[in-house]
Structure 1
Amino acid sequence: MQTETLPLYVDTPTAAALLGLSRSTLEKYRFYRDPSGPPYAIFGRASIRYHTPSLLEWAADRMVNCEKGS
């Protein structure tokens, strides 16, 4: 997915689609205030948004490099 075409902030369903996670998973991260979950912002009383660059960075930090031994 091209990052240049993504909006700066996305809602929960869009963030879930970007990450390949369910909306419920992101909601659980927030509800339990799980520090391993992706960062998010609250605008107003209940408008949850995910900062797209931070979201993509969070996903990149979870990459696992499994190299075969010789």
Structure 2
Amino acid sequence: MSVAVAQSKAEVEAAKIDGVATVAAKAMQDVALLSQMEQSLAQAVPHASGRLATIADLAAISMAGIVADSARRIGR
């Protein structure tokens, strides 16, 4: 019985890890696409590069916050 309980707890923890990894992977993909778009737009309109970088940075910080929050929520 205690082995089954331990295995069940391990499966729950593994599922939590998978959840955090999924959220993090999505955020990393979106940050990469965001960075690619920022670079492309900055090449097209060099005068806007500073503003584009600011917007991209704010979005990336927001995504990082979501990853951190989800890790806390999932980890409970």
TM-score, with length taken from structure 2: 0.27
Higher strand share: 1
The structure with higher relative contact order (CA 8 Å, sep 6+) is 2
Radius of gyration: which is bigger?
A: 2
